[in-house]
Each structure stands twice: as structure tokens, then as C-alpha cells.
Amino acid sequence: MAELRTNGDRLWQSLAEMAKLGATPAGGNKRLALSDEDKAGRELFVSWAREAGCEISIDSMGNIFARRPGTQAEAEPVMSGSHLDTQPTGGRFDGVYGVLAALEVLRSLNDGDVQTARPVEAVVWTNEEGSRFQPAMMGSGVFAGVLDQDRVYATVDQDGKSVGDELERIGYKGALPAQARPIHAYLEAHIEQGPVLEEEGRTIGVVTGIQGMKWLKATVRGMNAHAGTTPMEVRRDPLLGAARMVDAIDRTTRALRPDAVATVGEFSVGPGSINVINQEVRFSIDIRCPDEPVLEEQKKRVLAACGEISGDMGLELDIEEIWHVPPTVFHGNIVDAVEEAASALGLPGKRMISGAGHDAKYLAEICPTGMIFIPCKDGISHNETEDILQEHATAGADVLLHTVLRLAG
């Protein structure tokens, strides 16, 4: 089996075909979870998997499983995959690469007439991004028993459309219960979404875990008033307060620890008129750190800084934690298997922590899990300019293939 490789040209062409669905003028993708574009991407994947002879099953969260049988029909499968949904101005490879690399593994096993002992499955998880519906990683979270399906079904987007209704609308609310089943191992190939591999001239990232994260939603309330007649000293301007809070969040995080990060990604004001002092501002806070106690301290300092500003300015402040994912350490045997496969292929890897969240986080709750990273150009992701090299895509798929062979027997 040492000489077996994936078909890099076929993988690259598949990535190009998928990128046509929800393509944006700037060269990226907008394929939001459970949208018509997401449906089209799902159906393209299913058609390719069926052509490869796979058995398709869809669970009640819309997660898609493409199974290549093994000689031991009842054995726990080796599973690999990621997601097809994107950010509103997303790239062509985030998530998609992991799905199509997993499919390419199945195709390459067919090409080599290789029969594994364990079944091998490629999977598409629903709503990993958390852009249209929050929180992120919904499909894998329900599957792993971490998120409640009924609550997820009731979650609505900005237009009031619910996850449950949209799953029904696009025809992907499957009959199979979305719940954990025995899995021998889970692997997820992914672009790094950061600059480390490219800067160090390395091709493979051997991911040892995922840093912890918290999502908070802040609401700042003041007093709307006339912009021309209200003296500066009596104003209770929530937008000014929120702006100071955003700056304080940045300063607080920088002072805490080099690997702690914070981002305000959503920001809305009301009533939003040019000559009116606003009454209410809402914004999101995303904080992350590989160390759970430090993550808790980060939240504590953010709350204290924002609270001090609101008090000094006579504003009302509510901050709600809507999502918390503790740091994850991947299974040592899976990490070793990835590293050994990379080394055997002449691609020594770098052990590293993932700064981004992935479905592998929730799979690690229920089975041995690992990840494979490949470089992305300039470390850019969640951006329409996101890009990778074909040779790196092929190398990552080859490492995935040989790790699967090690695990599937």
C-alpha cells in the first residue's frame, strides 16, 4: 500500500466544480447553511459519492454520511469529513477541502482496488460556520450529544427562518436519528487558516488539539436624543460607550497573554439615523485561548472592562454568554498515526494547535479524533481571497489516505 496515492488532478477539479455553487464576483463563495446554494453543494457531493459506490444516509440534522463498506461489515468505521457551508464572503476551501479530500480517499481506494477491513465514511456536517444560524458546529454538536436538537431546530436567522424549517425546505431533514454511534476514529483535513505552515515552509500540520472559545452577545442601552440640541456633557450615547468597550476588549486581551485573542465581528445600532443619538447597540465578542483557566480570566476581564465603561457613562449593559467550547486535546494514537503517515510520505509534519473551531471538536467527545492541516496563502481564511496550492491539497489528501489505511486495516 505504500505506493498508493490520491488523484490530485481529480481532487482539484472537484474543488473547482464545488466552488461554482454560490460563487461570488470576488472569487470566493457564499453558500450559507441550509440555503439553496448549500442544497446544491450537498446534492453534488451525494451524486459524486454515489458514483463512487457509496451508501448514503442522512440524519435528522442533515448530516450526510457516504459509506464505503469494509470486509468486516459490523466493524466501527473510520470517518473523515468537514462541512460545505461558508461565510457570507467566504473562501473556496474552508471546510470544502476536508469533505472532498475524504471523498477522494474513497475514490482512490476504489482506483487501487483496496478493500479495508473497517468501513470508511466521508461525512458532511451541517452548519459548521455558525454564520446564518448560531452557534457554530450545530450538526456535529447534536450528533455528539452536546447540543439539544429541539433547541437547534428552533434557532432562527435574521429573517426569522428556523433551522428545522430550512432543513425541511431543502429536503435534508433525514430519518436517521442524529446521535452518536460507535466510530473507530474520526479525521478531518483542513486548510490551516493561519500563516504558520507557509511561513515555516511546511506542508503538513499535525494538529494536537483545538483552543477553547466563548461567544458573548453584548447589548448597550442609553438615551436617544437630538444630535444638534443635546449638550455633549449630558449625553448617554451607547455607540460611544460600545466603541470604548471594543477598544477595551482589545487592550485587555493583548495584556493577558500572547496566544489569547478577541474579536468583535457583529455590530448593530438603533435607531440608526444620522441626526439622532442612538438608543441601543448590540455587538458580538469572540474570545479564544488554548488554556481554559486563562479563557475564564479573559472573560472576567472583558466583563469588568465593559462594566466599568458603562457605569462611568450612565449606560445599561447586558452581556450574555451564548456558546462555550473548552479546549480540546486530540487522541494521542490518532495524532501519532497522522504524523507517521506524513513522515512515511516524506512530508514531516509540524505539531500544532488549531486556533479555529472545527467539527472535530465535538467528534473528539465521542471517539478518537485527529486533524490534518495544509497551508493556505498568506494565512488568509474567511475571506474571498482564500487560496491554496494544488500540490498541498494533494499532499494533505495523501496523508489522509495513508492515515485511514493505518486505522481501517
Contacts of 340 (CB under 8 A, 6+ apart): 406
Same domain, 381 and 404: yes
The predicted pLDDT at position 67 comes to: 98
Taking only Cα atoms into account, the Rg of the chain, rounded to an integer number of angstroms, comes to 23
Global confidence as pTM: 0.86
Question: Buried (b) or exposed (e) across 18-40, using 16+ Cβ within 10 A?
Answer: bbebbbbeeebbbbbbbbebbbb
Nearest to 376 by CA among 390, 355, 357, 397: 390
List Cβ neighbours of 123 (8 Å cut-off, separation of 6 or more). 63, 64, 65, 66, 79, 80, 81, 99, 102
Residue 51: strand, helix, or coil: helix
Of residues 375, 373, 372, 366, the one with CA closest to residue 338: 372
Give the span between the Cα atoms of 135 and 216, in whole angstroms: 11
Range of the domain at 284: 212-325
| 156 located within any domain | yes
Residue 2 lies in a domain: no
Find the DSSP H helices in 257-376.
292-313, 332-344, 360-363
Q: Are residues 244 and 181 in the same domain?
A: no
Per-residue pLDDT tens digits of the chain, which is 409 residues long: 678 999 999 999 999 999 999 999 999 999 999 999 999 999 999 999 999 999 999 999 999 999 999 999 899 999 999 999 999 999 999 999 999 999 999 999 999 999 999 999 999 999 999 999 999 999 999 999 999 999 999 999 999 999 999 999 999 999 999 999 999 999 999 999 999 999 999 999 999 999 999 999 999 999 999 999 999 999 999 999 999 999 999 999 999 988 899 999 999 999 999 999 999 999 999 999 999 999 999 999 999 999 999 999 999 999 999 989 899 999 999 999 999 999 999 998 899 999 888 999 999 999 999 999 999 999 999 999 999 999 999 999 999 999 999 999 9
- Are 108 and 32 members of one domain? yes
Of 325, 348, 373, which one is at a domain's C-terminal end?
A: 325
Q: Which three cell numbers stand for residue 201?
A: 515552509
* Whether 239 and 351 share a structural domain: no
Q: Which of 325, 359, 392 is the last residue of a domain?
A: 325
Q: What secondary structure, in 3-state letters, does 148-194 show?
A: CHHHHHHCECCCCCEHHHHHHHCCCCCCECCCCCCCCEEEEEEECCC
pLDDT of residue 17: 98
Residue 371 shares a structural domain with residue 335: yes
**Coil, strand or helix at 367:** coil
Polymer length of the chain:
409
Pair (364, 231) in one structural domain: no
Torsion of CA 188, 190, 193, 196, to 10 degrees: 90
CATH classification of the domain holding 319? 3.30.70.360
Q: Are residues 54 and 145 in the same domain?
A: yes
The partner residues of 280 in beta bridges, in order of sequence, read 221, 270
Whether 1 is in a domain gets the answer: no
Q: What whole-number distance in Å separates Cα of residue 181 and Cα of residue 268?
A: 41
- Does 236 lie in the same domain as 201? no
Is 3 contained in some domain? no
The residue from 325, 356, 371 where one domain ends is 325
Q: What is the CATH number of the domain that holds 52?
A: 3.40.630.10
Indicate the number of domains in the chain: 2
C-alpha cell recorded at residue 172:
435534508
Whether 100 and 201 map to the same domain: the answer is yes
Distances in Å between the alpha carbon of 228 and those of 182, 232, 277, 314?
A: 66, 10, 9, 20
- Tell me if 110 sits within 8 A of 120, measured CB to CB: no
- Asked whether 14 and 104 are in contact (CB, 8 A), the reply is yes
Report pLDDT for 73.
87
Do 170 and 311 sit in the same domain of this protein?
A: no
Answer whether residue 80 is part of any domain.
yes
Can you tell me which residue has the cell 451541517?
126
Say if residue 30 is in the same domain as residue 83.
yes
Which candidate, 194, 207, 190, places its Cα nearest to that of 353?
A: 207
